[in-house]
């Protein structure tokens, strides 16, 4: 036997010079910190900024003098930026960045809350957290639908349509049957119906997946809009008055301060969404189904040579994605509102952004969705306290962050290698 | 096939070797005929049937998921699971299985390494381990040595011998005669989809080659000594990144003189592609200079470089060399369609293009049904001849050919080689990049070996193969001749194309 070489894992080192990506991010963070310490500190008032641990002004609260708070948190951001600039080990990068960004947001809040009209110098944390999750919920379902689809190599631009169809069929069949569970099942089937069209055209007929996705969104808007006008508007009591899921309080967990009332007195969709994140995450990375799904999304030919049925895996995943998104759509009509025309209003596309921001990971998608939800909720809050900052400006920020993320500034964003490529044998 | 036999399947590119084996592996369905295993006819509806029948295959392009670990790749499709329908992966068991097989056949792999971080030689080992964990009796190796250094090839042959000793049968697909003679017990030669003969490994290389192409061919390139003149292409301190912004060319200095062939050898992916693309203006030059006949050409557009008298045969003809849907005639004027006599103002002149196409199809022996046939319908060799014809139809100062005969049949190889030498003899500077060491040795007057973005040595064409092989693996012997020196020490074992000697400790991580 000749000498066997030991596996050589060395990859040619890349000489980036001093200005590594991490250092550039540190510099930006440092600038943000200076901005918050100086500008927010100057604009904040000496009022106490109160962060109440309840739904309103009452009860216990975390308090800090507005000016001091804005400057203090600004300094923390500066410190985090300086640490990145000085160079930290790779695994510390994200935590330090996270601390810096959170401190920046807190500095901003100290300014805003302290500068609010007298009597409104408080921010109800329970309210904000609950609102964040409610606003994030359709994004969570939508992004999970994206994960299921795209991890198997089918681009899912039709999330919007799947959500909308789910919302519509949930409302319609919930109303007709007078049973929320029937509505829920119908919503899942409605989402899966759009998915089926996506799967057949993308997998069987090799139509460009982005194009077919967009067309399906338009189809969903058209079909639900038509039926809404014909049925629901003419006889709303019969067709658009579905019973709704109430809130379920989870014993013990609901008694946790702040988080309990915010998260564990919610409806079935909130619990289901969080559970699905966990299940899909474990499924993708720990089970046979996940291994095969990912292999089909990365290198379908390799999977095929090992006896994995590529097309079957893709059909199954795309349909599952439709079920998940359909239920996500029902989180509107079976819990919050009656169906209205085009009620998803672009959330499906934001879910797509959350999917990418979250790097095609269920947990990443959850965090991205919560980030978007928080920004939304904050915009509402600032409107309520008559902030000097136009709420539209704040509502814009998450998408700016997405563009930066997709442009690769927050680390390499890599889609599954075969995402969007139809598989043809031979 | 007998048990414990290494059966070589020899044939030109496009002869049908890989297709036959894909049928055997269940990827394609046969139109007619049947496959017998242990005397019983076998119907293969897919690769899983083949695996169940004990047939495993290592594909020419590795079937490994780059972002998966070794263990994940090996268990895919045959996962050991716990937890009923949930199907949790039993990673510990997978790791143990990999370790067992590695141990038994002495194929060391780290089960937790991620595939894309591994060198190709190790990736191939993973492929073999993958097949072995599926308990195959028959292993098909499709062109396994195409991407390996001579040392890695030698290791592979050793592995094949030990598998044979363990009673496994191996089908070894290749078009490299030297390897066949070194390892095969029996040889079947295929031409145009038909078995044209069987031979024993004792048959001479010329006999085998003649069987492959149907007539005798010259295996060596006939040429007179070069008469190098003034430097034509001068590259100094060139630094280039690849698509992933990783340094690919890291300070290369090169000179190609008029009237000589500089061969660039090296295992694929050591910066050859990026070097040439930088010279051609297809890739930004980060540092250093490129000059053509004294003029700085770095920073020029590709069109300007071509117009300055550079001919270029790109390494991937179907992607970069031809517009497959265009006709042969159109492809022949892609470079000068806007110049007289083919173009005038905004118009092109189809008559002139057709006339010139007819002439060049004849000159370059392009076998096509007509000049109007889409070039994609031609065989690989004839497509390549179209490119060569196009590039050599302009007056050139410099001719760069990357992998000029990859996937080309022996007959066309001979023709293309002779045209390259003819170009040298009329005084053009020629640069040939090839991962086929034989081709480089055959054509070049000087050989530059690239390793990890650098020229690790420049040697003469009569340097022993083993020495070049070591250079390709990044091992620079102290005795390596200085750059520019033509003569190199010869120890008599030189260029007979046989595999490198086993005596040296071959290891790819010494560098």
Q: Rounded distance, CA A330 to CA A233, Å?
A: 19
Q: Per-residue pLDDT tens for A381-394?
A: 888 888 888 878 87
The reply to whether A10 falls in a domain is no
A10 touches chain B (CB under 8 A): yes
In chain A, which residues have their Cβ closer than 8 Å to the Cβ of B508?
5, 8
Domain boundaries, position A193: 126-406
In chain B, which residues have their Cβ closer than 8 Å to the Cβ of A303?
65, 76-77
DSSP-assigned letters across all residues of B214-240: SS----SPP-PPP---SEEEEEEEEEE
Q: Rounded distance, CA B140 to CA B22, Å?
A: 10
The pLDDT of residue B497? 37
Using CB atoms, which residue from B59, B107, B246 is nearest to A14?
Answer: B246
Q: Per-residue pLDDT tens for B351-386?
A: 899 999 999 999 998 888 888 989 888 888 889 999
Chain B CA closest to residue A308? B77
Q: Which of A149, A146, A106, A122 is nearest to A49 (CA)?
A: A122
The pLDDT of residue A17? 66
Quick one: average pLDDT of B244-252? Answer: 85
The pLDDT of residue B335? 87
The pLDDT of residue A47? 85
A359 touches chain B (CB under 8 A): no
Instruction: Specify whether A98 is located in the same domain as A224.
Output: no
Question: In chain B, which among 397-436 make CB contacts under 8 A with chain A?
Answer: none
Q: Is residue A288 within 8 Å of A308, Cβ to Cβ? A: no
Instruction: Specify whether A109 is located in the same domain as A159.
Output: no
In chain A, which residues have their Cβ closer than 8 Å to the Cβ of B73?
302
Q: Rounded distance, CA A166 to CA A172, Å?
A: 10
Instruction: Specify whether A300 is located in the same domain as A363.
Output: yes
Would the pLDDT of B101 be above 60?
A: yes
Would the pLDDT of B510 be above 60?
A: no
- Considering only residues B350 and B22, tell me which one the structure prediction assigns the higher pLDDT: B350
In chain A, which residues have their Cβ closer than 8 Å to the Cβ of B124?
none
Instruction: Specify whether A269 is located in the same domain as A396.
Output: yes
The reply to whether A353 falls in a domain is yes
Q: Is residue B126 within 8 Å of B66, Cβ to Cβ? A: no
Map out the domains of chain B with their CATH numbers.
6-213 (3.40.50.300), 221-309+395-511 (3.40.50.300), 322-392 (no CATH)
B143 touches chain A (CB under 8 A): no
Q: Which of A152, A186, A51 is nearest to A108 (CA)?
A: A51
The pLDDT of residue B14? 55
DSSP-assigned letters across all residues of A117-154: PTT--EEEHHHHHHHHHHHHHHHHHHHHHHHHHHHTT-
In chain A, which residues have their Cβ closer than 8 Å to the Cβ of B110?
7, 9
Confidence of residue B511 (pLDDT cuts 50, 70, 90): very low
Arithmetic mean of pLDDT over chain B: 82
Lowest mean pLDDT among A42-46, B45-49, B97-101, B226-230: B45-49
Using CB atoms, which residue from B48, B79, B108 is nearest to A291?
Answer: B79
Question: In chain A, which among 314-343 make CB contacts under 8 A with chain B?
Answer: none
In chain B, which residues have their Cβ closer than 8 Å to the Cβ of A19?
none
Q: B207 vs chain A: nearest CA distance in angstroms? A: 31
Instruction: Specify whether A223 is located in the same domain as A299.
Output: yes
A17 touches chain B (CB under 8 A): no
Instruction: Specify whether A217 is located in the same domain as A110.
Output: no
Q: Beta strands B186-191 and B194-199: pairing type?
A: antiparallel
Residues of chain A with pLDDT under 70: 1-17, 405-413, 426
The pLDDT of residue A128? 92
**Are A7 and B108 a contacting pair at CB < 8 A?**
yes
Strands, E assignment, B210-305: 231-241, 247-257, 261-265, 287-292, 295-296
Residue to test with chain B: of A278, A307, A309, A311, most B Cβ within 10 A:
A307
**Are B27 and A304 a contacting pair at CB < 8 A?**
yes
In chain B, which residues have their Cβ closer than 8 Å to the Cβ of A3?
505-507
CA quadruple B497, B503, B507, B511: dihedral, nearest 10: -90
In chain A, which residues have their Cβ closer than 8 Å to the Cβ of B77?
292, 303, 306-308
The reply to whether A413 falls in a domain is no
Chain B CA closest to residue A304? B47
CA quadruple A166, A169, A170, A172: dihedral, nearest 10: 160
Q: B508 vs chain A: nearest CA distance in angstroms? A: 7
The reply to whether A242 falls in a domain is yes
Other CB atoms within a 10 A radius of the CB of residue A257 amount to 13
The pLDDT of residue B486? 38
The complex's ipTM? 0.82
The pLDDT of residue B482? 41
pTM: 0.75
Q: Rounded distance, CA B13 to CA B175, Å?
A: 8
Among A75, A95, A115, identify where a domain stops: A115
**Are A306 and B47 a contacting pair at CB < 8 A?**
yes
In chain A, which residues have their Cβ closer than 8 Å to the Cβ of B245?
14
Q: Rounded distance, CA B199 to CA B348, Å?
A: 54
The reply to whether A315 falls in a domain is yes
Q: Per-residue pLDDT tens for B20-69?
A: 777 777 777 777 777 777 777 777 777 888 888 888 888 878 899 999 99
Q: A15 vs chain B: nearest CA distance in angstroms? A: 8
Q: Is the CA virtual torsion A287, A288, A289, A294 positive or negative? A: positive
Would the pLDDT of B2 be above 80?
A: no
**Are A1 and B106 a contacting pair at CB < 8 A?**
yes
Query: Integer distance in angstroms from the first to the last C-alpha of chain A?
Result: 37
Q: B309 vs chain A: nearest CA distance in angstroms? A: 35
Which residue reads 């096509």 in tokens? B368
Question: In chain B, which among 208-247 make CB contacts under 8 A with chain A?
Answer: 245-247
- Considering only residues B491 and B151, tell me which one the structure prediction assigns the higher pLDDT: B151
Using CB atoms, which residue from B109, B246, B506 is nearest to A7?
Answer: B109
Question: In chain A, which among 392-421 make CB contacts under 8 A with chain B?
Answer: 417
Chain B CA closest to residue A1? B158
The reply to whether A204 falls in a domain is yes
The reply to whether A421 falls in a domain is no
Q: Rounded distance, CA B413 to CA B224, Å?
A: 19
The pLDDT of residue B215? 53
**Are B508 and A8 a contacting pair at CB < 8 A?**
yes
Burial class (CB in 10 A: 0-12, 13-18, 19+), B496: exposed
Q: B46 vs chain A: nearest CA distance in angstroms? A: 7
Q: Is residue B465 within 8 Å of B437, Cβ to Cβ? A: yes
Instruction: Specify whether A111 is located in the same domain as A130.
Output: no
Q: What are phi and psi of A423, to 5 degrees?
A: -100, 120
Q: Is the CA virtual torsion A322, A325, A330, A332 positive or negative? A: negative
Non-local CB neighbours of B186 within 8 Å, separated by 6+ positions: B5, B6, B7, B8, B198, B200, B201
In chain B, which residues have their Cβ closer than 8 Å to the Cβ of A293?
none
Using CB atoms, which residue from A9, A12, A308 is nearest to B246?
Answer: A12
**Are B505 and A304 a contacting pair at CB < 8 A?**
no
Beta bridge partners of A122: A50
Beta bridge partners of B448: B264, B458
Instruction: Specify whether A109 is located in the same domain as A131.
Output: no
Confidence of residue B249 (pLDDT cuts 50, 70, 90): very high
Among A92, A115, A138, identify where a domain stops: A115
Quick one: average pLDDT of B89-98? Answer: 89
Instruction: Specify whether A215 is located in the same domain as A315.
Output: yes
Which residue reads 């806007």 in tokens? B338
The reply to whether A246 falls in a domain is yes
Q: Is residue A366 within 8 Å of A140, Cβ to Cβ? A: yes
**Are A306 and B77 a contacting pair at CB < 8 A?**
yes
**Are B89 and A288 a contacting pair at CB < 8 A?**
yes
Q: Per-residue pLDDT tens for A69-121?
A: 999 999 999 999 999 998 888 888 888 988 999 999 999 999 999 888 877 88
Instruction: Specify whether A81 is located in the same domain as A176.
Output: no
Quick one: average pLDDT of B397-419? Answer: 87
| Total of domains in chain A | 2
Question: In chain B, which among 438-497 make CB contacts under 8 A with chain A?
Answer: 452-453
- CATH code of the domain covering residue A385: 1.10.3470
**Are B108 and A6 a contacting pair at CB < 8 A?**
yes
Q: B132 vs chain A: nearest CA distance in angstroms? A: 13
Q: Is the CA virtual torsion A87, A93, A99, A103 positive or negative? A: positive
The pLDDT of residue B462? 87
A36 vs A30, A40, A84, A120, B39, CA distance in Å? 10, 5, 18, 22, 81
Question: In chain B, which among 36-95 make CB contacts under 8 A with chain A?
Answer: 46-48, 51, 57, 59, 62-68, 72-73, 75-79, 81, 86-89
Quick one: average pLDDT of B321-343? Answer: 88
Instruction: Specify whether A185 is located in the same domain as A95.
Output: no
A295 touches chain B (CB under 8 A): yes
**Are B509 and A6 a contacting pair at CB < 8 A?**
yes
B384 vs B313, B316, B434, CA distance in Å? 8, 10, 15
Q: Rounded distance, CA A352 to CA A358, Å?
A: 10
- Which 8-state DSSP code applies to residue B291? E
Q: What percent of chain B has pLDDT over 90?
A: 31
Q: Per-residue pLDDT tens for B158-205?
A: 888 888 888 888 988 877 777 888 888 888 888 767 777 787 877 777
Non-local CB neighbours of A342 within 8 Å, separated by 6+ positions: A164, A221, A224, A225
C-alpha B206 chain-centroid distance: 22
In chain B, which residues have their Cβ closer than 8 Å to the Cβ of A17?
none
The pLDDT of residue A426? 55
Q: Rounded distance, CA B181 to CA B201, Å?
A: 5
Instruction: Specify whether A131 is located in the same domain as A54.
Output: no
Using CB atoms, which residue from A2, A10, A303 is nearest to B506?
Answer: A2
Q: B47 vs chain A: nearest CA distance in angstroms? A: 5
Using CB atoms, which residue from B28, B113, B507 is nearest to A426?
Answer: B28
In chain B, which residues have their Cβ closer than 8 Å to the Cβ of A15?
247
Q: B306 vs chain A: nearest CA distance in angstroms? A: 32
The pLDDT of residue A157? 95
């Amino acid at each position: 036997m000749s000498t066997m070489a030991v596996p050589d894992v060395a990859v040619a080192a890349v000489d980036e010079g001093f200005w590594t990506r991490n250092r550039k991010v540190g510099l930006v963070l440092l600038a943000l910190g200076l901005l918050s310490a100086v500008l927010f500190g100057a604009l904040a008032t000496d009022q106490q900024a109160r962060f109440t641990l309840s739904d309103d002004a009452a009860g216990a609260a975390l308090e800090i003098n507005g000016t001091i708070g804005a400057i203090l948190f600004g300094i923390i951001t500066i410190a985090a930026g300086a640490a990145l600039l000085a160079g930290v080990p790779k695994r510390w990068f994200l935590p330090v960045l996270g601390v810096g960004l959170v401190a920046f947001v807190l500095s901003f809040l100290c300014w805003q809350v302290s500068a609010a009209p007298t009597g409104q110098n408080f921010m109800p944390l329970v309210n904000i957290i609950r609102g964040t999750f409610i606003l994030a919920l359709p994004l969570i379902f939508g992004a999970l639908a994206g994960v299921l689809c795209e991890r198997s190599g089918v681009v899912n631009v039709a999330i919007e349509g799947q959500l909308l169809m789910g919302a519509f069929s949930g409302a319609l069949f919930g109303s007709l049957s007078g049973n929320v569970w029937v509505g829920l099942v119908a919503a899942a089937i409605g989402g899966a119906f759009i998915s089926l069209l996506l799967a057949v055209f993308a997998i069987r007929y090799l139509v460009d997946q982005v194009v077919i996705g967009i067309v399906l969104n338009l189809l969903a808007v058209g079909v639900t809009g038509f039926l809404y006008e014909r049925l629901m508007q003419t006889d709303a009591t019969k067709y658009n008055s579905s019973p709704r899921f109430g809130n379920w309080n989870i014993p013990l967990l609901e008694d946790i301060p702040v988080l309990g009332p915010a998260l564990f007195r919610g409806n079935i969709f909130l619990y289901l969404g969080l559970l699905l994140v966990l299940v899909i995450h474990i499924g993708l990375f720990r089970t046979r189904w996940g291994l095969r799904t990912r292999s089909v999304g990365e290198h379908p030919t390799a999977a095929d040579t090992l006896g994995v049925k590529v097309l079957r895996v893709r059909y199954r995943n795309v349909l599952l994605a439709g079920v998940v998104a359909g239920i996500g759509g029902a989180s509107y009509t079976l819990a919050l509102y009656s169906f209205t025309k085009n009620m998803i209003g672009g959330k499906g596309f934001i879910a797509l952004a959350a999917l990418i921001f979250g790097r095609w990971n269920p947990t990443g998608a959850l965090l991205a969705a919560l980030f978007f939800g928080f920004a939304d909720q904050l915009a509402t809050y600032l409107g309520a306290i008559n902030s000097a900052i136009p709420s539209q400006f704040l509502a814009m920020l998450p998408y700016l962050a997405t563009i930066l993320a997709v442009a690769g500034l927050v680390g390499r964003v890599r889609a599954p290698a075969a995402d969007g490529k139809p598989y043809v044998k031979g | 096939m007998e048990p414990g036999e290494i059966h070589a399947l020899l044939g030109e590119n496009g002869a049908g070797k890989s297709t036959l084996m894909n049928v055997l592996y269940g990827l394609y369905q046969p139109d007619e005929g049947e496959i017998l295993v242990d005397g019983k006819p076998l119907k293969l509806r897919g690769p899983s049937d083949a695996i169940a029948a004990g047939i495993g295959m290592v594909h020419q392009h590795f079937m490994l998921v780059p972002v998966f670990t070794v263990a994940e790749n090996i268990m895919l499709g045959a996962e050991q699971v716990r937890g009923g329908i949930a199907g949790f992966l039993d990673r510990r068991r997978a790791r143990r299985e990999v370790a067992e097989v590695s141990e038994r056949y002495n194929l060391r792999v780290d089960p937790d390494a991620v595939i894309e971080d591994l060198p190709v030689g190790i990736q191939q080992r993973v492929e073999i381990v993958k097949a072995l964990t599926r308990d195959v009796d028959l292993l098909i190796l499709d062109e396994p040595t195409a991407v390996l250094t001579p040392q890695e090839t030698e290791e592979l042959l050793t592995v094949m011998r030990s598998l044979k000793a363990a009673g496994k049968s191996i089908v070894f697909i290749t078009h490299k005669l030297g390897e066949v003679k070194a390892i095969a017990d029996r040889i079947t030669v295929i031409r145009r989809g038909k078995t044209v003969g069987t031979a024993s490994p004792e048959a001479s290389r010329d006999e085998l080659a003649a069987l492959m192409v149907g007539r005798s061919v010259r295996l060596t390139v006939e040429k007179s000594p070069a008469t190098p003149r003034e430097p034509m292409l001068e590259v100094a301190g060139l630094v280039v990144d690849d698509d992933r912004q990783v340094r690919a060319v890291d300070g290369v200095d090169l000179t190609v003189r008029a009237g000589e062939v500089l061969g660039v050898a090296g295992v694929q992916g050591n910066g050859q592609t990026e070097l040439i693309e930088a010279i051609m203006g297809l890739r930004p030059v980060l540092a250093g200079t490129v000059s053509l006949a004294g003029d700085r050409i770095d920073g020029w557009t590709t069109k300007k470089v071509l117009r300055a008298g550079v001919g270029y045969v790109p390494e991937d003809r179907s992607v970069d060399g031809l517009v497959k849907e265009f006709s042969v005639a159109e492809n022949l004027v892609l470079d000068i369609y806007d110049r007289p006599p083919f173009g005038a103002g905004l118009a092109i002149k189809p008559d002139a293009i057709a006339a010139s196409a007819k002439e060049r199809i004849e000159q370059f022996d392009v076998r096509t049904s007509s000049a109007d046939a889409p070039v994609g319908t031609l065989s690989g060799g004839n497509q390549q001849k179209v490119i060569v014809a196009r590039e050599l139809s302009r007056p050139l100062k410099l001719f760069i050919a990357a992998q000029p005969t990859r996937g080309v049949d022996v007959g066309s190889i001979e023709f293309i080689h002779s045209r390259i030498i003819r170009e040298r003899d009329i005084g053009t500077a020629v640069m040939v990049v090839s991962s086929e060491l034989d081709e480089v040795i055959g054509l070049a007057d000087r050989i530059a070996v690239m390793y990890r973005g650098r020229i690790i040595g420049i040697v003469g064409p009569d340097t022993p193969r083993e020495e070049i092989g070591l250079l390709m693996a990044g091992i620079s012997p102290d005795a390596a001749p200085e750059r520019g020196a033509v003569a190199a020490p010869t120890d008599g074992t030189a260029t007979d194309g046989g595999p490198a000697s086993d005596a040296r400790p071959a290891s790819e991580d010494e560098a």
